[in-house]
Structure 1
Amino acid sequence: MGRGSTMRGESSAKDGKTPLLPLLLGLMNLSVVSWAWTAPDCTIADASLLPRLSYYIPFCSLAPGLHFFASCSNVKDLAQTLTAIPEKIEVLCLQGTIPVLPIDAFAKFSSLQLLRLQLGPIKITSGVFQGLDQLQHLSFEHHVPCCLNLFLSPDALEPLRSLHSLSFEGYCLNSSQNIQLPISLSHLTLRHSCLTELQELQGIFQNLVPGSSHTASSIPWSISVEVLDLSGNLQLSQVGIGALHGLQLQSLRLDGTPVSAVGLPASGLLHLDSLSLVDKGIEKMPENVTNYFTLRALNLGKNKIQNIEDGDFSSCHSLEVLSLHANGLKFLSPKFLSALPQLQRFNLSMNKLGSTLVLPQGLISSNLRVLDLSYNELYTLPYGAFSSLPQLQELWLSGNYIANLSSENFQGLRCLTTLDLSWNQIKVLKPDCFSSLLALTSLNLLGTYLERVSGNQLQGPQELNHLQLGSFMMLDIYPPWPPALLSLEVWTETLLQFSVPSGEPFLFLENLTIQTTYVKLLQKNITLHFPSLRYLTLRGCDPYIFTSHLSERFFPQLPALEHLHFWSDHNGPSDLSLSGMPSLRVLELGDLDYFSKSSSSVKLEVLLKELPQLQVLALSNLNVGNLSVLSLQDLSPLRLLLLNSEWTLGLDSSLQELIPQMPQYVYFSDITFTCQCESSWVGPWAARAPNTYVYGLEKSICMANASDYSQTPLLSFLSSHCPHDAEFQSFLASFILVLLLTTLALLVCPKWPWLHHVRTVLHAWWLKLGGRGPRSQFHYDVFISYCVENQDWVLKELVPALEKPPPSGGGLRLCLPERDFGVGQDRMDAMIASMENSRTTLCVLSCEALGSPWCNLELRLATYHLIARPGTARLLLLFLDPIDRWQLHSYNRLLRWLQKEDYFDLSQGKVEWNAFCEQLRRRLRKAGQERED
Structure 2
Amino acid sequence: MPRMEISVFSALLPLLLLAFVNHGLSWAWTAPDCNIGDSSLLANLSYYTPICSLVPGLYLFASCSNIKDVIQTLRAVPHDREALCLQGMVPILPPNAFANFFSLKLLRLQLGNLKVTSKTFQGLDQLQHLHFEHHAPCCMGLFLPSDALEALISLNDLSFQGYCLNYSQNIQLPISLTCLTLRHSCLTKLQELQEIFSNLVPGSSNSVSPRSLVSFLEVLDLSSNLQLNQAGDGALHSLQLHSLRLDSTPLSSIGLLGSGLLQLGFLSLVGTGVKKMPGNVVRYFALHALDLGRNQIQDIWDPDLTNYHSLELLSLHDNGLQSLPIKFLSALPQLQRLNLSMNNLGSTLVLPEGLVSAKLKVLDLSYNEFCNLPYGAFSFLPQLQELWLGGNNISNLMNGTLEGLMWLKTLDLSWNQIKVLNPGWLSSLPSLTSLNLLGTYLEHISGKQLQGPHKLRHLLLGSHDMLDIYPPWPPELLSLEVRAEGVIQFIVHNEEPFLFLENLTLQTSNILFHTTVSDNTTVYFPSLYHLTLRGISSYVFSSHQPQKFFSQLPRLEHLHFWSDHMDTDNMCLLSMPRLQVLELGDLNFLSEFSLVKLEMLLKQVPQLQVLALSHLNPGTLSMSTFKDLGHLRLLLLNSEYSLGLDSSLQELIPQMPQYVYFSDVTFTCQCKSSWVGPWATQAPNTFVYGLEKSICMANTSDYSRTPFVSFLSDHCPHDPEFWVFLISFNLILLMSTLALFGCPKWYWLHYLQNLFHSWWWKLCGRGPRRQLYYDVFISYCQQDKAWVLKELVPALEKPPPIGEGLKLCLPDRDFGLGWDRMDATVASMETSRAILCVLSCQALKSTWCNLELRLATYHLVARPAVARLLLLFLETIDRQKLCSYHRLTRWLQKEDYFDFHQGMEEWDFFCEQLQRRLREAGQERED
Q: TM-score, normalised by structure 1?
A: 0.76
Give the aligned residue type for 1:559.
P
Name the CA shift for 1:422/1:724 in 2 (closer, same or farther; >3 Å): same
Name the CA shift for 1:21/1:148 in 2 (closer, same or farther; >3 Å): farther
Aligned counterpart, 1:493: 485
Q: What SS does the aligned partner of 2:372 have? A: coil
Name the CA shift for 1:504/1:724 in 2 (closer, same or farther; >3 Å): farther
Aligned counterpart, 1:597: 591
**Aligned positions of 1:265-664 closer than 5 A:** 265-266=257-258, 268-355=260-347, 357-523=349-515, 524-550=519-545, 553-594=548-589, 596-664=590-658
Say if 2:166 is the partner of 1:174: yes
Aligned counterpart, 1:115: 107
**Aligned positions of 1:743-754 closer than 5 A:** none
How far does residue 24 in structure 1 lie from its aligned partner after superposition? 4.5
How far does residue 551 in structure 1 lie from its aligned partner after superposition? 7.7
Give the aligned residue type for 1:361.
E
1 CA distance for matches of 2:197 and 2:172? Answer: 6
How far does residue 587 in structure 1 lie from its aligned partner after superposition? 0.4
Aligned counterpart, 1:28: 19
Q: What SS does the aligned partner of 1:308 have? A: coil
Q: What SS does the aligned partner of 1:374 have? A: coil
Q: Cα deviation per residue 1:845-876 (whole Å; 9 max; x = unaligned)?
A: xxxxxxxxxxxxxxxxxxxxxxxxxxxxxxxx
Give the aligned residue type for 1:534.
Y
Aligned partners of 1:309 and 1:336 also within 8 Å? no
Q: Cα deviation per residue 1:584-641 (whole Å; 9 max; x = unaligned)?
A: 01000000112x2234443222101121211101010011111100000011011111
**Aligned positions of 1:839-854 closer than 5 A:** none
Aligned counterpart, 2:697: 703
Give the aligned residue type for 2:41.
L
Q: Cα deviation per residue 1:904-928 (whole Å; 9 max; x = unaligned)?
A: xxxxxxxxxxxxxxxxxxxxxxxxx
Say if 2:192 is the partner of 1:197: no
2 CA distance for matches of 1:185 and 1:14? Answer: 66
1 CA distance for matches of 2:27 and 2:445? Answer: 55
How far does residue 239 in structure 1 lie from its aligned partner after superposition? 0.7
How far does residue 358 in structure 1 lie from its aligned partner after superposition? 2.0
Aligned counterpart, 1:733: 728
Q: What SS does the aligned partner of 1:23 have? A: helix
How far does residue 360 in structure 1 lie from its aligned partner after superposition? 3.0
Q: What SS does the aligned partner of 1:468 have? A: strand
Aligned counterpart, 1:688: 682
Name the CA shift for 1:475/1:222 in 2 (closer, same or farther; >3 Å): closer
Aligned partners of 2:349 and 2:374 also within 8 Å? no
Aligned partners of 1:182 and 1:223 also within 8 Å? no
How far does residue 60 in structure 1 lie from its aligned partner after superposition? 2.3
Name the CA shift for 1:626/1:35 in 2 (closer, same or farther; >3 Å): farther
Aligned partners of 1:419 and 1:442 also within 8 Å? yes
Aligned partners of 1:644 and 1:668 also within 8 Å? yes
Number of aligned positions between the proteins: 735
Aligned partners of 1:629 and 1:654 also within 8 Å? yes
Name the CA shift for 1:746/1:636 in 2 (closer, same or farther; >3 Å): closer
Aligned partners of 1:443 and 1:466 also within 8 Å? yes
Aligned partners of 1:27 and 1:738 also within 8 Å? no
Name the CA shift for 1:21/1:272 in 2 (closer, same or farther; >3 Å): farther
Aligned partners of 2:330 and 2:356 also within 8 Å? no
1 CA distance for matches of 2:547 and 2:556? Answer: 16
Q: Identify which of 204, 207, 232 aligns with 1:215.
A: 207
**Aligned positions of 1:741-890 closer than 5 A:** none
2 CA distance for matches of 1:604 and 1:567? Answer: 15
Q: Percent identity?
A: 65
2 CA distance for matches of 1:708 and 1:36? Answer: 31
**Aligned positions of 1:82-101 closer than 5 A:** 82-101=74-93
Say if 2:69 is the partner of 1:74: no
Aligned counterpart, 1:830: none
Q: Cα deviation per residue 1:830-852 (whole Å; 9 max; x = unaligned)?
A: xxxxxxxxxxxxxxxxxxxxxxx
How far does residue 206 in structure 1 lie from its aligned partner after superposition? 0.8
How far does residue 218 in structure 1 lie from its aligned partner after superposition? 11
2 CA distance for matches of 1:257 and 1:92? Answer: 31
Say if 2:223 is the partner of 1:231: yes
Name the CA shift for 1:77/1:557 in 2 (closer, same or farther; >3 Å): same
Q: What SS does the aligned partner of 1:409 have? A: coil
**Aligned positions of 1:665-676 closer than 5 A:** 665-676=659-670
2 CA distance for matches of 1:287 and 1:271? Answer: 16
Aligned partners of 1:105 and 1:128 also within 8 Å? yes
2 CA distance for matches of 1:352 and 1:360? Answer: 15
1 CA distance for matches of 2:103 and 2:568? Answer: 48
Aligned partners of 1:177 and 1:204 also within 8 Å? yes
2 CA distance for matches of 1:20 and 1:256? Answer: 74
How far does residue 285 in structure 1 lie from its aligned partner after superposition? 0.8
Q: Cα deviation per residue 1:448-479 (whole Å; 9 max; x = unaligned)?
A: 00000011111101100000000001110001
Give the aligned residue type for 2:40.
S
More deviation, 210-219/642-651: 210-219
How far does residue 709 in structure 1 lie from its aligned partner after superposition? 1.0
2 CA distance for matches of 1:240 and 1:362? Answer: 41
How far does residue 146 in structure 1 lie from its aligned partner after superposition? 2.7
Q: Give ranges in structure 1 of 5+ residues lacking alignment.
A: 1-11, 748-933
Say if 2:138 is the partner of 1:138: no
Q: Cα deviation per residue 1:796-854 (whole Å; 9 max; x = unaligned)?
A: xxxxxxxxxxxxxxxxxxxxxxxxxxxxxxxxxxxxxxxxxxxxxxxxxxxxxxxxxxx
2 CA distance for matches of 1:14 and 1:278? Answer: 82
2 CA distance for matches of 1:240 and 1:22? Answer: 75
Aligned partners of 1:363 and 1:389 also within 8 Å? no
More deviation, 304-313/294-303: 304-313
Aligned partners of 2:142 and 2:163 also within 8 Å? yes
How far does residue 15 in structure 1 lie from its aligned partner after superposition? 7.7
* Structure with the larger RCO, 1 or 2 (CA within 8 Å, 6+ apart): 1
Give the aligned residue type for 1:736.
L
How far does residue 83 in structure 1 lie from its aligned partner after superposition? 0.6
Aligned partners of 1:239 and 1:265 also within 8 Å? no
Give the aligned residue type for 1:441.
T
Q: What SS does the aligned partner of 1:643 have? A: strand
Q: Cα deviation per residue 1:757-793 (whole Å; 9 max; x = unaligned)?
A: xxxxxxxxxxxxxxxxxxxxxxxxxxxxxxxxxxxxx
Q: Give ranges in structure 2 of 5+ residues lacking alignment.
A: 743-927
Name the CA shift for 1:185/1:657 in 2 (closer, same or farther; >3 Å): same
Aligned partners of 2:553 and 2:575 also within 8 Å? yes
2 CA distance for matches of 1:550 and 1:259? Answer: 67
Q: Cα deviation per residue 1:136-157 (whole Å; 9 max; x = unaligned)?
A: 0000000001310100000000
Q: What SS does the aligned partner of 1:115 have? A: strand
Name the CA shift for 1:40/1:128 in 2 (closer, same or farther; >3 Å): same
Aligned partners of 2:48 and 2:638 also within 8 Å? yes
Aligned counterpart, 1:185: 177
Give the aligned residue type for 2:197.
F
Q: What SS does the aligned partner of 2:303 have? A: coil
Q: What SS does the aligned partner of 1:576 have? A: coil
